[in-house]
Chain A
Amino acid sequence: MINFSYTIWIPLLPFFMFIFLGLAGHKYFPKLSGILGTCGLAIITVLSYITAYKYFFTTEKVDGAFQKITAFNTTWLQFTDKLHIDLGVLLDPISVMMLVVITTVSLMVHIYSLGYMKGEKGFERFFAFLSLFSFSMLGLVLATNIFQMYIFWELVGVSSFLLIGFYYQKPSAVRASKKAFIVTRFADLGFLIGILILSFNTKTFDFISLTDPSGTAITQGSGIGFLGLSIMTWSMIFVFMGGVGKSAMFPFHIWLPDAMEGPTPVSALIHAATMVVAGVYLVARMFPIYALAAPVALNIVAYVGAFSSIFAAIIACTQTDIKRVLAYSTMSQIGYMMLALGVSGYGGHEGLGYMASMFHLFTHAMFKALLFLGAGAIIHAVHSNHMTEMGGLRKYLPITHITFLIACLTIAGIPPLSGFFSKDEILAAALHHNKLLFAVEYAVAGLTAFYMFRLYFSVFWGKETAYHHTPHEAPATMTIPLIILAIGSVLTGFIPFNQLVTSDGRAFESELELMVAIPSVLIGLLGIGIAYILYKKESAIPDKLAATFKYSYKWAYNKFYMDEVYLFVTKKIIFKLISEPVAWFDRNVVDATMNAIASVTQGVSFRIRGFQSGQLQKYGFVFITGAIMLAILFIYLWK
């Protein structure tokens, strides 16, 4: 057995870095903190790669399956004898894979930020927050139990909040960060309730015992029912609610486009590559339960994923802010992953969807980070987010152009780039499972190609725009990560995921299904072609199209008015319909009752002052009547 206990340092190092930079960075070495943070991350990236290597290639498999290795575990908080929150490191294929993804993208983003954030106020704060995020995200994926996951789940939420609101003097950034936090918090409520229901029935938080296919949790969990569904299904639906929030699935997706107010490297890291896939990771982590004990919940996962992906893809076609396009694209792609999980079964080839999902997660992290960083470079050059203010940038930004093109081709699923492989697996899995979902995803593939190339053509080709300052290529700290990620996007498709990351840890055989692959490439090319026609050169056709489908366009452009619904719920319902009445009730009913007691007392006091009339004879009268009344009372009435 290989000793993995050093892996505890993978999350801890960024944590200490955060404390260190957070407390001391501002005063003592504001300039150096970027380098320090990057170095720290470089170390853990190396550690992660070593771990991945050791785990996948040197650790012995038992019974042909990768083992779940608890590299480190300590009790953090004891609830009851059985229920306790542990903090530890759990290594299994998906967590190791996530280690690689997170550290890679994070390192790239760190390096990129050295250039991108240079000279910004709060440079050291930015790196401190990045470290905090890295710590939280690593803690999340390495969690040994669901409660640890929840802890880090919250922590990534807050790091996301802090980073979205990095430009805290910008009202839109503040609003966006608030919205992101509250929406995900609401979703996390479901997660927490799910955990509670789960733990109440299984009496454990521990992943290994929870997800053991022959363990009590799964075998007994489907029994007890509530409202027609088994308790386990309920708990999994609630848990999934957390995933929906974090992964920006419909209907909790509304925070994601706004989150683009954050600095672009942050969008790349958190809102494209890592944090937003936490929901996918969560479902994958709990996959045996979903697949074996809560199939209804798994179906919900599939449909939510499918709906989100097409929903987002449609919106993405109409947006003009490049980051927003990318954000919806992210949502759409995560929908893919969710769908893949949803259509997967457990074990062997049945688990194709699971593998495909993880595969897509991996490749998506590469190319989406690349897209965002590329977008960052563009924004860096033109100081605007809007496609309408760009055009013909290929001349000014050659490296960005090339890498961006690679990324676009990848996401469009053009072979032999990585996106092709992973998307193909997903479509294959969907086809085997559910034709409707397959059709949806097939359409989404076309839409994806279309809107990505719409973006690409608008920015790098299209009309010649006059710029105030001539755009120039980003510095090396920014271009190097682009190149590295581009290489990654190209190559990662060849990683044999079916050997490494599978639903039951055992390798299975899967081949490229040409029946799926060819049509998907074709529809990708179709999308690219339409985009080429419409956006390669300045043309009036898009506007005409938009005018033709006025209402649908308007709906899509306004994101189907989801933000308005959100506003309605928060402002009108929560604030006007609940909070203000509660506050009013508190002041005017509850408090007023207390005050009324006081004023009634005083009122009575005022009313009865006539008794004390100062008239001696009235005193005597009261005296006599008092005595007589008492006598009557005790002689006749109350003896």
Chain B
Amino acid sequence: MISNQIMFILFSAMIIVFSILTVTSRKILRAAVYLLFVLVSTSGLYFMLDYQFLAAVQLTLYAGGIVVLIIFSILLTSHISQKFEPTGIMKSVFSAIASIAGAILAIITILDYNFSATAQAAKEVDMRLIGNSLLSVDYDGYILPFEVISVLLLAAMIAAIVIAKRGGPEKSELPTLKQE
């Protein structure tokens, strides 16, 4: 009970703090690392919620895949130690107002709502169930999305290739500075 709560508080504190650091840090690589921390903490929450499979996916795909992708791209496009100029003050203020307003709105609305747990028994989430559901063609079966997402992944692959592919008149390999 208490340990649950302590864990939750720990994870959520990490998530919130690192989230904020991710979006405020002026060093890009550090931001990426903070993001990693957020994602890892989130997977901790998933564990708490008994979704071990998803936690694993989160760790591998998100923390492992996407963050690595991001770091690679950072390396391609930025100097490691490069510091950002601070964001324009007006922009920060307005964005903050918008975000906080949105958050307050959402939180008020959520807290206003009476979530009532259903009486139905929880299913044991094991790999077999996940696999069966994923391949089921019946109600509550996910084979169709599963198939379609494969198309999506293929499309994304081709899309990324299209952009990376040579063709057309290249200006020069080394990018020139943008002309004002």
Instruction: Please report A residues at the B interface, Cβ cutoff 8 Å.
Output: 617, 621, 624-625, 627-628, 631-632, 635
User: Lowest 10 A-B CB distances belong to which pairs?
Assistant: A628-B102, A625-B98, A624-B98, A628-B101, A628-B105, A631-B105, A621-B98, A632-B105, A621-B95, A624-B102
Shortest beta-carbon distance, B109 to chain A, in Å? 7
Q: List 5 A-B contacts (CB under 8 A).
A: A617-B95, A625-B98, A628-B101, A628-B102, A635-B109
Interface of B is mostly: helix
B94 interfacial contact with A, CB 8 Å: yes
Digitize B87-112: 1 where CB-to-A-CB distance is under 8 Å, 0 elsewhere.
Answer: 00001001100110110010001000
Find out whether the CB atom of B91 lies under 8 angstroms from the CB atom of A628.
Answer: no
Residues from chain B with Cβ under 8 Å of A621 in the complex = 94-95, 98
Residues from chain A with Cβ under 8 Å of B105 in the complex = 628, 631-632, 635
Residues from chain A with Cβ under 8 Å of B91 in the complex = 617
Interface residues on B, range: under 10
Residues from chain A with Cβ under 8 Å of B98 in the complex = 621, 624-625, 628
Choose among A617, A624, A628, A635 the residue with the greatest number of B CB atoms under 10 Å from its CB.
A628
Shortest beta-carbon distance, B54 to chain A, in Å? 28
Shortest beta-carbon distance, A421 to chain B, in Å? 107
Residues from chain A with Cβ under 8 Å of B102 in the complex = 624, 627-628
Shortest beta-carbon distance, B179 to chain A, in Å? 16
Shortest beta-carbon distance, A479 to chain B, in Å? 102
B70-126: which have CB < 8 Å to A?
Answer: 91, 94-95, 98-99, 101-102, 105, 109
CA distance A128 to B94 in the complex (A): 88
CA distance A627 to B91 in the complex (A): 18
Residues from chain B with Cβ under 8 Å of A627 in the complex = 102
Choose among B91, B98, B99, B101 the residue with the greatest number of A CB atoms under 10 Å from its CB.
B98
Shortest beta-carbon distance, B106 to chain A, in Å? 8
Residues from chain B with Cβ under 8 Å of A617 in the complex = 91, 95
In the complex formed, the residue of B with least CB distance to A625 is B98
Shortest beta-carbon distance, A546 to chain B, in Å? 92
CA distance A631 to B91 in the complex (A): 22
CA distance A624 to B91 in the complex (A): 14
In the complex formed, the residue of A with least CB distance to B91 is A617
CA distance A617 to B99 in the complex (A): 13
CA distance A625 to B101 in the complex (A): 9
In the complex formed, the residue of B with least CB distance to A624 is B98
Residues from chain B with Cβ under 8 Å of A625 in the complex = 98
In the complex formed, the residue of A with least CB distance to B109 is A635
Shortest beta-carbon distance, A27 to chain B, in Å? 79
In the complex formed, the residue of B with least CB distance to A623 is B98
CA distance A371 to B134 in the complex (A): 123
CA distance A617 to B91 in the complex (A): 9
